Every structure is written in C-alpha cells, then in structure tokens.
Amino acid sequence: MNVIEADLLVVGAGPVGLYAAYYAGFRGLSTVVADSLPEVGGQVSAMYPEKPIYDVAGFPMVRGRDLVARLAAQAAVFDPTYLLGHRVQELVREHDGTIVATTHTGTEVRCRAVVISGGIGTFTPRPLPAGETWLGRGLSYFVPSLGAHAGQDVVVVGGGDSAVDWALSLEPIARSVTLVHRRAAFRAHEHSVARLRSSSVEIITDAEVTALDGGDLLTTVVVTGPGGSAARPAQAVIAALGFTANLGPIRSWGIEVIGNRYLPVNTAMATDVPGVFAAGDITEYPGKVRLIVVGFGEAATAVNNAAVLINPDEALFPGHSSDAAPALV
C-alpha cells in the first residue's frame, strides 16, 4: 500500500480546491490534493473549459481553462502532491486525531485535517436517448476544445446555460451551429439568450433530435418538431441536457449531509466531524451563495482554521500575502 503523510488533504481539485492548496502552502502546510478526475479543474475543466467567466474579481473576463491554469500555477509555488484519478473511498478519524483517507486504488493519506471541496460530487451527463451509440463518433456531452469543431456543422441540444454558451462559443468557429431545444422557453441566463437570438445560430424550439446517422462517423441528424421530421447535415452533436450529481463515498464518512447533496458547516467552514472542513458548492449554511468567488473565501477560511487545529500555537489570521512575498511563477 502506498502511504502518504501530510498536514492537510484537499478532496477535490476544482478551482476552490486549487485555491485551498495554494493557501495551505502559504500557511506552511504540506498538502495532498485528490480528485477522481484525471486532470485538475473539476467541473470547469470537464464541462465548460472554454466558457467565459465574468464574475471572478480582478478579471473582466477569464475562460474556464485559463482560470484553472492560473490557479494551478499559483498553487505550484508550494508544490502540493496531486492524486489525480483517485477517488477517496474511505475517511476514518483515529483516536489521536489523525485522519486516514483511502482511495479506490488503495493509496492511503494520513493527515491532520481535511478540506472537502468536491463541488457537486461526481457528475454524470444526462444521455441523449437517440444517440448513445454515437458517443465518440460525433456525439459528445462536453466541449473540451472549441478548435476540434472548426469548419463543422454542429447541433447543440439543450436550453440551459451550457447549451447556449457552447452555441455562442462555437458560432465563429463552426461552419454552422443549430440549437435544438424541446421547449420554447430557455433556462439559460437572460442576457445569454438575448445574445443567442441576435447571433447567426439557428434556433429550433419545441423540437428534439430523434436520430443520428452516418457511417463510421456522424453525418446527419434528424430533428422532429410540431411540423414533422427533417434531416440536416451534422458532423457533431453536443448534448447539453444537464447532469446528475452524486456525493458518492462522502455519504459514508460520518458527516452530516443535507438533501443528499450538501455538507452543513459553521462559520469556520467546519463540518460536524472534527478536523474535517468544507468549501465551495458542496457547503450549506444560511445565506449560502454558490459562486466560485465565494468558494475562494471559504477555502481561505477553512485552511486558516485547519492550520490552527493542526498547530494550536499558530494564529488564525496569517498576515497579508504581500508581507510574505512568495516567489510566484
């Protein structure tokens, strides 16, 4: 068994987890970051790496992948250990306060505190009923790279933020973009829908993609609406139909869970299990607002309180980062 000893374990390598890793390093803590996904960035990297984000302080606009890259570079100054592709399966607190986390690969992390920044937990895209056999041959649920769709006829399915964002992002790159939504009203942000309606994206509402066709690769989709069915050329279908979230093993760690989804925390971002803190979308408390920028503040709060738990002689307030002047990369 591979055993790693550290001061702090961060569960989740999304934006909030990466910022927690930076702040732990700033506090002088040795840190392990574990995530079931094979790359850092969490939901941002997996679902909308190209999406423009407008509400991160100091950035008028930053794309998801760029934000993740900058957060990873910020944390890299303190050299955290990453366990990517490792799902933390068990979490046990021993009598002396040591917390032992075991991943599904058998790797064991022994630490003094944990920050859970698992976002919404594991997430699975809702399938497109007509197209599961085309997955990887023209059908996809995410857009890791906009450039892969250059010059293609792309059909985006869905009416939420991801569907509208991807349609708008692909518009200047693809040969054509069509958005198909089964309802007349969109769930996406009103401003994004207004941009969509003024774009060159063809919008088909009250309709569904009912068939995909082609040889080894996709060439045609069938769209069915009130007026009947029609085939149209498509080399790519992006199904943005939402996803189902699951806390997975976290539910078996002895932590209180609300609504099978959220972890209640106090003002120190502490859960009801001593030494276990949480930050980001997974947390719940009165007045909670689920934004990345809120998660950054929660991560700093959680890490600072964990630092005092690990070493009671430490001050809760660490001082200002400008006083320490770390050598940023």
User: Can you give 164-219 as a three-state secondary structure string?
Assistant: HHHHHHHCCCCCEEEEEECCCCCCCCHHHHHHHHCCCCEEEECCEEEEEEECCCEE
- How many beta carbons lie within 10 A of that of residue 28, not counting itself? 14
Provide the pLDDT confidence category of residue 207 given band limits of 50, 70 and 90.
very high
Backbone angles phi and psi of 230, in degrees to 5: -145, 140
Q: What is the mean pLDDT of residues 147-165?
A: 94
Which residues fall in the annotated binding site? 35, 43, 48, 88, 123, 281, 322
Report H helices in 100-178. Answer: 161-170
Q: What is the mean pLDDT of residues 242-262?
A: 87
Residue 195 has pLDDT above 70, yes or no: yes
d(CA 194, CA 198): 6
Residue written as token pair 């209180």: 256
d(CA 78, CA 167): 38
pLDDT of residue 132: 84
Q: What is the pTM of this model?
A: 0.78
Q: What is the mean pLDDT of residues 156-172?
A: 92
Residue 123 has pLDDT above 70, yes or no: no
How does pLDDT run across 302-313, given as a tens digit for each residue?
999 999 999 999
Name the percent of the chain lying above pLDDT 90.
Answer: 74
Pick from 48-62, 84-98, 295-309: least confident: 48-62
Which residues fall in the annotated binding site for FAD? 35, 43, 48, 88, 123, 281, 322
pLDDT of residue 165: 87
Ordered domains of the chain (ranges, CATH):
3-123+243-324 (3.50.50.60), 127-239 (3.50.50.60)
pLDDT of residue 325: 55
Determine the Cα angle at 194 with ends 192 and 196, to 5°: 70
